[in-house]
Structure 1
Amino acid sequence: MSDYDGAGKRRAEKPRGWVRRHWVATTLLAALALVLVGTSAYALNMLNSFGKIDKVATGALKEENRPDPAPGEALNILVLGADAEADGNNNSSSIKADLDEDGRWKDGRIHRSDTIMVAHVSADRSRVSVISIPRDSYVTIYDEKGEPRGENKINAAFADYGPNGAISTVEHLTNLRLDHLVIMDWDGFRDMTQAVGGVRVYIPETFYDTSQKVEWEKGWHKLKGKRALQYVRTRYGLGDGDFDRIKRQQNFIRLLLKKMMSSENISNPISLQKTVSSVAKHLTIDEEFSVSTITDLAWNMKGLNVDEVDFMTVPLAPIRFGKDANGQSIVNLDEEKGKDLWRMVRNDRVKRYLRLNPDVTKLGSETEVS
């Protein structure tokens, strides 16, 4: 039985302009680079590179176990940053190669998703909101068919039940129908920073990352390749652990987008092709994406700029940290405030939510990020 009241009632009536809801949002680490195709140059290059993008089936999810599509023309995309290798299993193959036709992982294959975001594109295509969900958030996990499998950290959904499990778990958490899925592995993020010649970031205080054995000195740094990857994956040595890492990832995406959308990069055909190729090579999307939808997105979002992207984190409980029955550290979400946020997202009223909640955890200025 579905967890959603009235599930399926509206499915027979596709909203007007339904085709426009299904365009591809290419991305970087978190596929926020749906803004990428905001220029005709990127759109054209994406058309040429589209055949290289892996697609995965999402049809195993039962319709009765999914929320109804949101009314209107807004779009919601689940964005995952994935490891190609997890827990020493020497798994270097792609997401698609490790999935059976029913969407289950093949025996012995596991990928982790340490970055989980919901990207909401407003109906008028004038704004994008990116909401991060901490990987240790303690929630009910759902499998690839949308059936409950007990409580765990949210990143267990992807590791145990693949892309469909991640979709279903986030949909049940948010009561939000996810229109599309975009996954980028960390190698793609590394290659993209290399393609644009690096990104300049500011580190407010000197600290040492005990896990990666890297010291980060206070001041401005130009990061690319492996060094950029180390920066966004750092959480040891930061004052607020994984929450500071989320801020870093969001900030780096913001800065990387600015670099990718700069006239310097767009006007350079070699740099442009390298950037787009680095996206396509390491990207996995759901099977409903098509070439024709890319051009539609480019047209509808051609005026969007990076300053019109809001970054925030899902509301957290007053006591943010806890332990599960096995003694694992977990993150506690604020269920009531979370319902308010996701309801506003569903109704395409994120701007109003931000006005009513001025204390919401948003991304600060570039020099304030730890």
Structure 2
Amino acid sequence: MPGMDSKDDARHDPAADQPAHLSLFDERPAAESDGPEPGRADGGRGRRTRRVLIWALVALLVVLGGGVGALYWTANHYASSVQRIPDAFPTVPESAQPKPVPNSGMTFLLVGLDARSDVPTTGAEAEGPAWKVGAARSDTMMLMHIAADRRSVSVVSIARDTWVDIPGHGQAKINAAYSWGGPALMIQTVQDLTGIRIDHLAVIDWDGFRSLTDAVGGVDITIPKTIEAVGGARHWDAGTQHMDGDTALQYVRERHGLPGGDLDRTKRQQNFLRALMKQTLSSGTLSSPTRLGGLLKSVGDVVSVDDKLSNSDLYDLAWSMRNLRVGDVTFMNAPFGGFETIDGQAAVKLDRNAAAPLWEAMRNDRMVQYLAEHRTTSDVLGDSVR
């Protein structure tokens, strides 16, 4: 302090005895910072200590930065491998489509195909699923609603034989929409049926789930009752079975020998997806670089999404759902209204009165409340699946 002589050093301000403030942004001249610190006999050692701490921090930041960079590169690499579908959405006027509801979560239309052909898309590096008029009908349709708070997901299957109005084509089974007009007509048909605005499309290749299942080490699925072989269908023993990709594929494709036909088939597909999610979360897949790499590669081989879903959108969506657990995901069928033969075709009728509150709940992000009231219905996937 000013006015003190050397013999008063012991009575100077105690703050002077504290280590000097460490900063990576210290701009003092070298001559000033190189001098011994007042009141310290080890001024040089104090400087060296600070320098070691600073350079250790710098080294740590470099290492962490490299890790983040590697992680970003890996995520970007595999997100880019997810193929994009061009022109997936209807081009009808905005006034002819359901009005988006703000802050109401996100709704995907999942379309399952038995096989996926790939052709280069114009003006894009990725490839998208080839579609030709009349070449194929969609095998599976599911509406997947992700809640705005990302704490729950609801998946609703629409039977492929559901009899509906298809814009420009009259009435037919809903899976004909994909055959006649591709993803855009499929989305338009589902939007007209439900009044729900579709945010994104994902096309699933069921055949590709073989490799995805193997990537997580197989899945455990319980058959509640022995099912005898019927026609080309295989025999299934009652009990929990560990299924590899080939066996799981047989499980989700089969409908012969099931009392509910396609309705039971959709429940099997949902049961498989639930088992796959459970295995992914419990097998250490997400914490094992080797397993995670195999899983991400398999996802890119299995799923295509609309070209409005960017890599960053995929990152953000995955990150926002990081705390989701299997119990937070509910699967169900759209309310069943009976079977009917129409124009010589076996068709499924939708119970439109029962479906109306379901579509309203999904549209307004109120699925948790809806399921609390309807969880015991036969439409909701239970623990026991044929």
TM class by shorter chain equals 0.7 to 0.9
Query: In the alignment, is the contact (CA less than 8 A) between 1:126 and 1:308 conserved in 2?
Result: yes
Kindly indicate whether residue 366 of structure 2 is the aligned counterpart of residue 349 of structure 1.
yes
Query: In the alignment, is the contact (CA less than 8 A) between 2:137 and 2:177 conserved in 1?
Result: no
| Deviation of the 1:184 alpha carbon | 1.3
Structure 1's 302 and 98: CA in aligned 2 closer, same or farther, altered over 3 A?
Answer: closer
SS of the residue 2:284 aligns to: helix
| Residue in 2 that maps onto 1:118 | 143
| Deviation of the 1:212 alpha carbon | 3.5
Residues of 2 paired with 1:263 and 1:104: CA distance?
Answer: 31
Kindly indicate whether residue 303 of structure 2 is the aligned counterpart of residue 300 of structure 1.
no
Kindly indicate whether residue 370 of structure 2 is the aligned counterpart of residue 321 of structure 1.
no
| Residue in 1 that maps onto 2:43 | none
| Residue in 1 that maps onto 2:158 | 133
Comparing 226-235 and 59-68, the one that deviates more: 59-68
Residues of 1 paired with 2:159 and 2:257: CA distance?
Answer: 18
Residues of 1 paired with 2:123 and 2:173: CA distance?
Answer: 24
| Residue in 1 that maps onto 2:24 | none
Structure 1's 286 and 43: CA in aligned 2 closer, same or farther, altered over 3 A?
Answer: farther
| Deviation of the 1:309 alpha carbon | 0.4
| Residue in 1 that maps onto 2:100 | 69
Query: In the alignment, is the contact (CA less than 8 A) between 2:89 and 2:187 conserved in 1?
Result: no
Counterpart code for 1:329: A
Residues of 1 paired with 2:382 and 2:72: CA distance?
Answer: 30
| Residue in 2 that maps onto 1:58 | 88
Mapping 1:1-16, distance limit 5 Å: none
| Deviation of the 1:295 alpha carbon | 2.5
Residues of 2 paired with 1:107 and 1:80: CA distance?
Answer: 16
Counterpart code for 2:352: E
Structure 1's 105 and 66: CA in aligned 2 closer, same or farther, altered over 3 A?
Answer: farther
Structure 1's 110 and 297: CA in aligned 2 closer, same or farther, altered over 3 A?
Answer: same
Q: TM-score, normalised by structure 1?
A: 0.78
| Deviation of the 1:197 alpha carbon | 1.4
1:255 to 269, 272, 275: 275
Task: Give ranges in structure 2 of 5+ residues lacking alignment.
Answer: 1-69
Query: In the alignment, is the contact (CA less than 8 A) between 1:193 and 1:225 conserved in 2?
Result: yes
Quote the sequence identity (%): 40
Task: Give ranges in structure 1 of 5+ residues lacking alignment.
Answer: 1-40, 85-91, 143-147
1:253-301 per-residue CA deviation (whole Å, 9 max, x = no partner) reads 1110111122522232222111110110232110101111122223322
Structure 1's 283 and 124: CA in aligned 2 closer, same or farther, altered over 3 A?
Answer: same
Counterpart code for 1:125: R
- Considering only CA atoms, is the larger Rg found in Structure 1 or Structure 2? 2
CA RMSD in angstroms comes to 2.6
| Residue in 2 that maps onto 1:369 | 385
Structure 1's 109 and 244: CA in aligned 2 closer, same or farther, altered over 3 A?
Answer: closer
| Residue in 1 that maps onto 2:117 | 93
| Deviation of the 1:194 alpha carbon | 1.2
Query: In the alignment, is the contact (CA less than 8 A) between 1:83 and 1:112 conserved in 2?
Result: no
SS of the residue 2:109 aligns to: strand
Counterpart code for 1:117: M
1:143-178 per-residue CA deviation (whole Å, 9 max, x = no partner) reads xxxxx3111111111122111111111100000000
Structure 1's 334 and 43: CA in aligned 2 closer, same or farther, altered over 3 A?
Answer: farther
| Residue in 1 that maps onto 2:18 | none
| Deviation of the 1:61 alpha carbon | 2.1
Residues of 2 paired with 1:167 and 1:363: CA distance?
Answer: 24
Mapping 1:164-313, distance limit 5 Å: 164-313=184-333
